[in-house]
Chain A
Amino acid sequence: MSAMAADLSARPSFLGYRRPDGRIGTRNYVLVVPTVICASVVAERIAAAVPPLGAALPHLAGCGQLGPDMRVTHDTLAAYCAHPNVGAVLVVALGCEQVVAQMLAEAARRHGKPADIVAIQSEGGTIKATDKGIRIASGFAERLASDARERCDVSELVLSLKCGGSDYTSGLASNPTLGRVTDRLVDLGGTAVLGEIAEIMGAEHLLASRATRQNTATELIQIITRVETEARALGLDIRGTQPSPGNIRGGLTTIEEKSLGATHKGGERAPLEDVVGYSAPITRKGLTVMDTPGLDVESVTGMVGGGAQVVVFTTGLGTPTGNPIAPVIKVTGNARTGRQMADNIDLDVSGIMDDSETLAAAADRLFAAVLAVASGQQTSAERLGHREFAIHRRNPTI
């Protein structure tokens, strides 16, 4: 009896991998990172030969990029090398590209992870580089296999908040459910990150009023103004993409309406502590806004790069996407989507819509699911092999 009482009063926790840099992983991958698109196929073959720990990061960038885009590519790849869900890193280089393999390996080593490099040109082609890469990655996988999870406080979690394929149920059921989880996590000392600047447009007053520092509120308004100005400078109407045609069929008319529903994910009281750039480290507890585009995969890629170890992704219409290194939990408030896309949905909270479940009960279920997934339980996206990854870019390829 007393033991049970002690359990109930205990703080929520999960089983994670404690890293040498003090951060906590919810997964333990051997990450195989191509420096450039030209090395992506070799990286994918190496990772595929080392199941289940091998995870590749195929991408379209790494060369022919200028200034800010080159920096974002490098910083995002380096952030994944340093990420706590990664136990070891193999960098696959071509040999003549802009992204420097040594710098990526160094990003992993600085965080206490073993790292190595295979270069396709110096190894003598695809077959030799793949063979050598598989040997190195297999060695890493053997070392990681003996790593054990340990009990970690919930305040170690950095949760990425995402919505996609939104409909009217998103703003009424799934996003408010996630918002309650956000408030609870932040109350317990944890961290949450909200991206998708275009989908804050029209709701920025609600977030800005929760900023703990004046410059945080100012930065939020500045990046929203920048996105709005970019659309104006093109002489275009942002309505061409926001809300999306599917959103509009679902009953959402304007970006303001979509944003007000979307911003529920950030909770009602969690203080806004920081505004950071794409894929930049999330360093403050509480709620952070990251400057990401609305495109689902680019947005999740950036928030995981910032350090999120778990993603909660709400959807009305249903969407399959995942991430190479972070589990993505799909939540829907649309009963029809819950039935029709059952393969892709982890949690159905449509009971909120017909009053058969309270928001509080749904939030309890989601909070428990976040801890279970953080402790290793597979998500639908993981089971189905959804590992989408895309680095945001602003400028043309040169």
Chain B
Amino acid sequence: MKPVLVISDRDNVATALQALEPGRQLELGGGALAVRDAVPSGHKIALRAIHAGEAVVKYGSPIGLATMEIPAGAHVHTHNLASTRGRGDLDPAASAPEPRLAEPVDERNGR
């Protein structure tokens, strides 16, 4: 079995088909890749450096944005990749703070 699978030429991550240990050298079509982190089987490994804010691409389509600098060979998962879809937690309109109670009025100075 191949250690990793690259689905599309446009992808910047590959899927590990077996557990990968740090330090292992992978021979890929485009050259060698040094495994940087332990990557469980089924999880993703960066094929090249991906900058914070850059799209992570699998199946030839974006699957979210890198939340930090991701070096080549790193494990790519929830710690460094986040979805951009259905994110009510990021929507300023929806996540407006709870309505605040009126400020206590200082009767002496009329405020």
The segment from B20-28, B46-54, B73-81, B101-109 that touches chain A is B73-81
The answer to whether A171 and B59 have CB atoms under 8 Å apart is: yes
The answer to whether B62 and A251 have CB atoms under 8 Å apart is: no
The answer to whether A353 and B1 have CB atoms under 8 Å apart is: yes
The answer to whether A236 and B83 have CB atoms under 8 Å apart is: no
Q: Decide yes or no: A256 and B61 within 8 Å by CB, A201-B85, A202-B85, A238-B86 being known contacts.
A: yes
Give the shortest distance, in Å, between B70 (CB) and chain A (any CB): 12
- How far apart are the CA atoms of A198 and B86 in the complex, in Å? 9
The answer to whether A228 and B1 have CB atoms under 8 Å apart is: no
- How far apart are the CA atoms of A261 and B77 in the complex, in Å? 16
The answer to whether A255 and B76 have CB atoms under 8 Å apart is: no
Give the shortest distance, in Å, between A248 (CB) and chain B (any CB): 6
Give the shortest distance, in Å, between A235 (CB) and chain B (any CB): 5
Question: Interface residue tally of chain A, by bracket?
Answer: 35 or more
Give the shortest distance, in Å, between A179 (CB) and chain B (any CB): 12
The answer to whether B86 and A228 have CB atoms under 8 Å apart is: yes
The answer to whether A172 and B88 have CB atoms under 8 Å apart is: no
- How far apart are the CA atoms of A231 and B84 in the complex, in Å? 13
Within 8 A of A (CB), among B1-27: 1-2, 5, 7, 15-17
The answer to whether A251 and B42 have CB atoms under 8 Å apart is: yes
The answer to whether B64 and A254 have CB atoms under 8 Å apart is: yes
- How far apart are the CA atoms of A359 and B69 in the complex, in Å? 36
- How far apart are the CA atoms of A202 and B7 in the complex, in Å? 17
The answer to whether B94 and A260 have CB atoms under 8 Å apart is: no
The answer to whether B5 and A228 have CB atoms under 8 Å apart is: no
Give the shortest distance, in Å, between B84 (CB) and chain A (any CB): 8
- The answer to the question of A239 belonging to the interface, with a C-beta cut-off of 8 Å to chain B, is yes
Q: Decide yes or no: A355 and B63 within 8 Å by CB, A169-B42, A232-B86, A237-B87 being known contacts.
A: no
- The answer to the question of A123 belonging to the interface, with a C-beta cut-off of 8 Å to chain B, is no
Question: Which among B1, B16, B64 has the highest number of chain A CB atoms within 10 Å?
Answer: B64
The answer to whether A251 and B87 have CB atoms under 8 Å apart is: no
Q: Decide yes or no: A235 and B89 within 8 Å by CB, A172-B15, A255-B83 being known contacts.
A: yes
The answer to whether B88 and A236 have CB atoms under 8 Å apart is: yes
- How far apart are the CA atoms of A167 and B43 in the complex, in Å? 10
- The answer to the question of B71 belonging to the interface, with a C-beta cut-off of 8 Å to chain A, is no
- How far apart are the CA atoms of A257 and B76 in the complex, in Å? 12
- The answer to the question of B38 belonging to the interface, with a C-beta cut-off of 8 Å to chain A, is no
**Interface membership of chain A positions 89-123, coded 1 if the CB is closer than 8 angstroms to chain B and 0 otherwise:** 00000000000000000000000000000000000
Within 8 A of B (CB), among A150-204: 167-169, 171-172, 198, 201-203
Which chain A residues have a beta carbon within 8 Å of chain B's beta carbons? Answer: 167-169, 171-172, 198, 201-203, 205-206, 227-228, 231-239, 242, 248, 250-251, 253-257, 260-261, 353-355
14 contacts across the A-B interface (CB closer than 8 A): A168-B43, A202-B62, A202-B63, A228-B85, A232-B88, A233-B88, A235-B94, A253-B81, A254-B82, A256-B61, A257-B63, A257-B64, A353-B1, A355-B2
